[in-house]
Amino acid sequence: MLYQVTLGPEELPAVRARDLEAAWDLVAARRVPIGAPRRFRFEGPAGTLTVAVIDREARRWAGAVDRVAGLHTCQGIALCLRLLGLVGLLARMPDSTHAVSPALLRAVADAPLTPAAELSSPSIESLLSQGAPA
């Protein structure tokens, strides 16, 4: 599936923390099958960028977002990129920091995205370095 987006990732809106939590909970409960590969093609101020979601688990996360917010909307795509960014950050952290606290979800929900479609926020890094307390 290819989604054409007439914005750059950095122009996507903030999302609701409760939507991040809902998608997280769907995957944690294994209620989402591994979906089809997806690609997002952004046409923004920084030029064209294509983000491919081809990893099996990433496809499951994208499927959860599709159920929660719909990937046919900018809001859904923004949610997907933030959720994938959160999963990536947590995967790089020591096991003790895998708590997904309300504060962490709020920080990710509000964090801006970079032109490279990555999370950009010192507050997220700060929460993770402190162990993201529940």
What mean pLDDT do residues 79-106 have?
A: 83
In a domain? residue 77:
yes
In a domain? residue 32:
yes
Residues 6+ apart with CB under 8 A from 45: 8, 10, 11, 115
In a domain? residue 27:
yes
- Give the predicted TM-score (pTM) of the model: 0.88
In a domain? residue 18:
yes
Residue 45 is part of which domain span?
2-129
In a domain? residue 62:
yes
Contact 85, 78 (CB under 8 A): no
d(CA 72, CA 93): 31
Number of domains in the chain: 1
pLDDT tens digit sequence for 64-81: 999 999 999 999 999 999
Please determine, for residue 114, whether its predicted confidence score (pLDDT) is greater than 80: yes
In a domain? residue 91:
yes
Confidence of residue 83 (pLDDT cuts 50, 70, 90): very high
d(CA 91, CA 132): 14
